[in-house]
Structure 1
């Protein structure tokens, strides 16, 4: 089973990727574990996904880093929204 991962706004630009499919494994039990695995891809990934204010959603609902994953979810990472 796969996870669909979406990257929005500056994350998409910094990582050069808007969407990917990642095979779900038992090691990815939480949203935080998924972020940790993605950060292992290198410094740009760590800097982007661990920047202050980065949010995530699971199946279009805001989630915290302890949110459990079971496979099949859509996970989105995005920076804080600003503007006026």
Structure 2
């Protein structure tokens, strides 16, 4: 299983803070995101937004990053500050 967390405005729009999804052989961030959209089609617009960032086990990663059982993925909008 892969733990998936959503933060900030993304969490609000999806109305979900955290969930678990089964891991598959040869998984990547993009593959997990595709399965999330398959299971929740109304999340497509938010999860496919080019500005959405992802971290795996607390480190920023790209969409081709491998994902294995026990990993934690976090999706969130870009952080702005002043």
- Considering the TM-score relative to the shorter chain, is it more than 0.5? yes
Residues 42-78 of structure 1 deviation map (CA, whole Å, 9 limit, x = unaligned):
1x31111111310000000000001001211000000
Indicate the structure with greater helix content. 2
Alpha-carbon separation, structure 1, partners of 2:45 and 2:81: 23
Alpha-carbon separation, structure 2, partners of 1:4 and 1:29: 13
Q: Scaled by the length of structure 2, what TM-score is found?
A: 0.90
Structure 2 spans left out of the alignment, 5+ residues? none
Runs of 4 or more, structure 1, over 2 Å off, are none
Q: Scaled by the length of structure 1, what TM-score is found?
A: 0.88
Aligned length in residues = 81
Structure 1 spans left out of the alignment, 5+ residues? none
1:3 aligned partner: 2
